[in-house]
Structure 1
Amino acid sequence: MNEHVKEANKKRIEAIIKNLETRNMSGYYCETAEDAKNKILSMISEGDLVSWGGSASLDELGIKKELKNVLDGTAPSKEEALENRRKAFMADVYLTGTNAVTMDGELVNIDKTGNRVAAMCFGPKKVIVVAGINKIVENEDAAVGRIRTEACVPNAIRLGLMTPCAVTGKCAHCLGQSMCCYTVTTRASAIKDRIHIILVNEHLGY
């Protein structure tokens, strides 16, 4: 990435971090994905029970293999994954990505099962969110538009779902097997500093 673009991105992230503070959320700047992984690990204490939902950003960080005391919400067995998603509400730390973060510091997510957005809202003692520079948008409307075109389509393909968007590449506002069952905007955290957002000056996930 061009050095001037990286510097411009850094200034955008710094502005978002200030806005997150007004919303009872904590923001952190990381230059690289490796820095982000190390930052997240430093925020997890010995013995913490850690869980997560589906996140391409977390997968790219490679952080899951560094953790021991875990509830894997993406376990290969559907039964185990579902049970772990239920138990995740009692986790000490919940790791997740976000589909979009606005310049004003709002998190916007579209979810199929709802476990990821539910845990962000309530349950786990600490929520750590990682977001690449590609997730930054101007406002909530731009966030929803971005998610429907740049996140839901590749995610549906990854999961092998025959949604209209997986076939055509375009959102059809479908129901049934839809990827878009829940749309949640996190305007603020009811508990100060419960939600921590790691903003990375690299592209992560989709």
Structure 2
Amino acid sequence: MDKNYETLLHIKENQLIKAFEKNNMSCMVVKNKEELHHYLKNILIAQKKVAVGGSVTLTKLGVLDLIQESDVQFIDRYEEGLSDEQVYERLREGLLSDIFITSTNALTMDGCLYNVDGRGNRVSAMIFGPREVYVIAGLNKIFNNEQEAMTHIREYSAPANALRLNKKTPCTKLGSCQDCFSEGRICSSYVKLGYQGQKNRIHIIIIEENIGY
């Protein structure tokens, strides 16, 4: 990494950490997958109940595999052979987990998280329920302000996830959110998480890579 870029990156990371701490969320930076796994291994212990939000980031970083290998009770929404009703019940069970691990669609330099959700289980768990929430995000999810974050969500996150999930929505053809009324719409709930009344329930982990939507 170029030294000048690395210096600027560290300045921004320190600003981001302070902003999230001001909003009562902890924030840390890891360089790569190996550092992330080393950190997570210290919390994935003691038969804690663990649930996850749907996330390309978690899959690509091997977090799901790490959870399955750990000494935890994994509320596995992805287990093969589950009926739609069984998946729904596991999503509900995840709201009472000890640890909820997810990514975020966007985060801003003032220490806020921005997400759009279809069913709502991911944003619900981030807001209330699980005792601890760990949010893992790449550098590409960091934006200066709310407007930039929302533009990213509407023009990249939502269409990319709709394509990934094989949804027949206008955004998969036009490349940006159309505020549609399609049956397959996945952007039903827009949620901003700012200052938290419960200090350090939410933990932000920034990985120094571009990953996920």
TM-score normalized by structure 2? 0.91
- Write out per-residue CA displacement over residues 120-163 of structure 1, whole angstroms, 9 at most, x where no aligned residue: 00000000000100000011121111011121111001100011
Structure-1 residue corresponding to 2:141: 135
1:101 aligned onto 2:107 = yes
1:114 aligned onto 2:106 = no
Structure-2 residue corresponding to 1:183: 190
What residue ranges of structure 2 are gaps of 5+ in the alignment?
none
- Write out per-residue CA displacement over residues 94-125 of structure 1, whole angstroms, 9 at most, x where no aligned residue: 00000001001100001111000000000000
1:88 aligned onto 2:94 = yes
How far is the alpha carbon of 1:7 from its aligned partner? Answer: 3.4
Point out the more displaced range, 6-15 or 28-37: 6-15
Pairs aligned (count) = 206
Structure-2 residue corresponding to 1:37: 37
* Separation in structure 2 between the aligned mates of residue 22 and residue 102 of structure 1, nearest angstrom: 13
The structure 1 segments of at least 4 consecutive aligned residues displaced by more than 4 Å after TM superposition are: none
1:174 aligned onto 2:196 = no
1:203 aligned onto 2:210 = yes
Identity, in percent, stands at 35
* Separation in structure 2 between the aligned mates of residue 189 and residue 74 of structure 1, nearest angstrom: 30
How far is the alpha carbon of 1:75 from its aligned partner? Answer: 4.1
Q: Partner of 1:72: helix, strand, or coil?
A: coil
Letter in 2 for 1:191: Q
Q: 2:77 aligns with which of 62, 73, 77?
A: 73
1:5 aligned onto 2:14 = no
How far is the alpha carbon of 1:33 from its aligned partner? Answer: 2.7
1:194 aligned onto 2:201 = yes
Point out the more displaced range, 34-43 or 22-31: 34-43
Q: 2:156 aligns with which of 122, 132, 150?
A: 150
* Separation in structure 2 between the aligned mates of residue 149 and residue 74 of structure 1, nearest angstrom: 27
C-alpha contact 2:25 2:203 (8 A) present in aligned 1: yes
Q: Partner of 1:49: helix, strand, or coil?
A: strand
Question: Structure 1's 8 and 25: CA in aligned 2 closer, same or farther, altered over 3 A?
Answer: same
